[in-house]
Amino acid sequence: MLKKILTLIDENFEETVVVLLCGTLVLSLTYTVVIRYAFHTPLLSMISHWAEELASFAFVWLLYFGAIVATKQGQHFRIMAQFKLLPEQYQKYAILPANIVWLLFNLVIIKLGWELVTFSAEESLALEIPMKFVYFIIPLSFTLITFRLIQHTYRTLRSNNQSEANDA
């Protein structure tokens, strides 16, 4: 039972978050547009400002989660044409140097992102929430990207051929 739950989370977590963030973005912007052009009451206008800021934050988080999904699926930006020159049994190992550099970069960003979250004292303008909650996407997303990078690299190296590696 636990294995099924973990598999479900492993296969669907980021995609579920992306769907929720897209829904939040669309609903917030729809509300803002409807209120701006259909109703002109002070209370609804104030809520419209909240919705607009929420949409901005949802969009930022959506971008980061999109990067996690791309990493998970092995669809991140990478030039692979030069690897076709290698014998097929070595092609899957050619990703290692770039992945190691990427992993080190992620660790630096996680550290810097955590410092930003820790030392951030400002609040958002409309929602008046601490910006550290918004900034938390940086260490969170790069931690998840690192996890998915390691996971994808492991699956690629375990695969028997290059076509399976690309599907991992």
pLDDT at 40 over 80: no
Q: Which of 41-45, 81-85, 93-97 has the highest mean pLDDT?
A: 93-97
Q: Find tokens 């803002």 and name the residue.
A: 32
**Mean pLDDT for all residues in the chain:** 90
For residues 40-66, give the mean pLDDT. Answer: 92
Give the DSSP letter of residue 162: H
82 — phi, psi (to 5°)? -65, -25
- Lowest mean pLDDT: which of 41-45, 80-84, 139-143? 80-84
